[in-house]
Amino acid sequence: MKSRTIAILAREGGVGVETVRFYQRRGLLPTPERWSRDGVGTGVRRYGEEDVRRLRFIRSAQTAGFTLEQIKELLSLDAGEDRARAHELASERLAALDKAIADLVEARTALRRLAGACASTDQGPCPIIAAFQGEAA
Amino acid sequence: MKSRTIAILAREGGVGVETVRFYQRRGLLPTPERWSRDGVGTGVRRYGEEDVRRLRFIRSAQTAGFTLEQIKELLSLDAGEDRARAHELASERLAALDKAIADLVEARTALRRLAGACASTDQGPCPIIAAFQGEAA
DNA sequence: CTAGGTTCCGTACGTCAGTACGGAGTCAAT
DNA sequence: ATTGACTCCGTACTGACGTACGGAACCTAG
């Protein structure tokens, strides 16, 4: 089972070793006991499938815009029964995500106009500020 | 013309006074000379329409994901002739914007499934981690 | 003319999410 | 058994974007 060293866990999760340690300090990942096969010395910590899944989940949740603090809460909810809270967190984030997407689409429209205005003539200054006026949130 | 105090400029631009000063330090907004109507004392700095426009542009460009450093460059280009550079900056950001939007849409899909999985049953833990597996960039 | 609110300025602090460093201990291969 | 890579741990630093503080100067209303 728990055969991975921290470097392997990090690689499988697509992050750096320092990041794993950072998540442990933040309570997002468990810090297993040190362990040595032959019982000699203090050994190093070893990680299993479950840790890889948690780590990958953290990355996914981050792309959904959750903060590490919120992800920590989601992870704790995963083991518990408080589906109301889980649903609440998800809904809040979903609304924020909708707004973020709308904002970005709007910004893209404004920016396209900038690029267009810039390309439409080929002399003099590019009217950058004008291209943005009245746009975006 | 230049009749606004810094607090008024800040309010019209939708930011705080300290933020205006911060932008000045970063070279995104000009720092006009102090000026007193009656010629007595050193006076305070006054701001006009142009400053409001610049400030609003900064906010818009930020929602388009430009960093303050890039916005500074855009502002300097606005006065100049280097439309090739302006076009380059805009194109780069446009591509980044497209990717960001796609990522967020993907994250939203994953999150919707989470909320759905959570709502589909009403007992036991909400399968949060499972709902995300294999999703998102 | 005085009380209060503002402005000005430098410097310090805050947040979020890491990244880097350095020395001691540990592990795996030769 | 030695070498070289990796682990552990605390602490410090980064970068992007502000926010707060504190004292002196200033401006405005009563």
**Tens digit of each residue's pLDDT (9 = 90 or more) over A78-128:** 777 778 888 888 899 999 999 999 999 999 998 888 888 777 776 677 777
The beta-carbon neighbor of A86 closest among B59, B93, B118 is B118
Q: B33 is in which domain, residue-wise?
A: 6-80
Cβ within 8 Å of residue B32, ≥6 positions away = B2, B45, B46, B47, B51
* DSSP letter, residue B15: S
Residues 51-70 of A with CB under 8 A from B: 53-54, 56-57, 59-61, 63-65
- The answer to whether residue B91 is domain-embedded is no
Contacts A79 to B, Cβ<8 Å: 125
pLDDT tier, A137 (very low <50, low <70, confident <90, very high otherwise)? very low
The yes-or-no verdict on residue A25 having pLDDT over 90 is: yes
- The answer to whether residue A23 is domain-embedded is yes
Matching residue, tokens 């470097």: A7
Q: Which nucleotides of D are covered by protein (CB under 7 A)?
A: 6-9, 16-21, 25-28
CB B65 within 8 A of CB B21: no
pLDDT of residue A134: 59
CB A44 within 8 A of CB A50: no
- The answer to whether residue A119 is domain-embedded is no
Q: Which residue minimizes Cα–C1' distance to C5? A: B7
Q: Mean pLDDT in runs of 10 for chain B (137 residues)?
A: 93 97 97 84 92 95 92 86 83 92 91 79 72 57
B115-133 burial, b for 16+ CB within 10 Å, e for fewer? bebbeeeeeebbbbbebbe
pLDDT of residue A19: 98
Name the domain count of chain A.
Answer: 1
* DSSP letter, residue B28: S
- How far apart CA B77 and CA B85 sit, in angstroms, is 8
- The distance of B12 to chain A (nearest Cα, Å) reads 13
Residue of B nearest to A122 (CA): B83
The yes-or-no verdict on residue A21 having pLDDT over 60 is: yes
Q: Read off the pTM.
A: 0.85
- How far apart CA B33 and CA A13 sit, in angstroms, is 54
CB contact under 8 A, B108 and A64: yes
Q: Which residue minimizes Cα–C1' distance to C19? A: A18
**Tens digit of each residue's pLDDT (9 = 90 or more) over A35-72:** 887 777 789 999 999 999 999 999 999 989 999 999 99
Q: Is B84 on the interface with A (CB under 8 A)?
A: no
- At residue B9, the 3 state secondary structure works out as helix
pLDDT of residue B122: 66
For residue A10, what is the domain's CATH number? 1.10.1660.10
- The answer to whether residue B115 is domain-embedded is no
> Cα dihedral angle (A100, A106, A108, A109), rounded to 10 degrees?
170
- The answer to whether residue B100 is domain-embedded is no
Distance in angstroms, CA of A43 to C1' of D2?
20
Question: Picking from A8-17, A26-35, B105-114, which range would have the lowest pLDDT averaged per residue?
Answer: B105-114
pLDDT of residue B80: 75
CB A20 within 8 A of CB A52: no
pLDDT of residue A16: 97
Residues 112-131 of A with CB under 8 A from B: 112, 114-115, 118-119, 122, 124-129
- The answer to whether residue B104 is domain-embedded is no
For residue B62, give the nucleotide whose C1' atom is nearest its CA: D17
What percent of chain B clears pLDDT 90, i.e. is strictly above it? 55
- The answer to whether residue B136 is domain-embedded is no
Q: Is A38 on the interface with B (CB under 8 A)?
A: no
- The answer to whether residue B111 is domain-embedded is no
pLDDT of residue B134: 57
Give which of B83, B87, B121 to mutate to test A binding, by max A Cβ within 10 Å: B83
pLDDT of residue B78: 78
